[in-house]
Amino acid sequence: MTTAAFQKVQKSIDISDFRAAMASHLKKAKSKPLVVSARRGGDSFVVLSVDAYNKLVEAWEDEMDAKELAHLRALQKGKKWVELKR
């Protein structure tokens, strides 16, 4: 199981600042996600590395698999359950 340490993003960057120093901001996004604000009070977007995105998707898939397994086990309650050995 993959565990990813994601945390809330504190600071947002204005879109014009992001564009002006895009290379620098993208380099920073490799280590932690960035929030880019389109306008004051407008939409915000998260910029993160491909590796961070893949970890996030993997964690979500693991969570969904665990919920599905719990659901299937609940449906089989009272019936014989055979554990598979690895």
pTM, full prediction:
0.63
Domain residue ranges in the chain: 9-47, 49-78
3-state secondary structure 25-62: HHHHHCCCCEEEECCCCCCEEEECCHHHHHHHHHHHHH
* SS3 at position 73: helix
**What Å distances lie between residue 54 and 2, 4, 20, 46, 60, CA to CA?**
10, 10, 27, 14, 10
Rg (CA), the chain: 20
* Tens-level pLDDT at each residue, the chain (86 residues): 455 566 666 678 888 898 999 999 999 888 888 888 887 777 888 898 999 899 999 999 999 999 999 998 888 877 776 788 87
9-47 — its CATH code?
A: 3.40.1620
Q: Which residues on adjacent β-strands are paired with residue 45?
A: 36
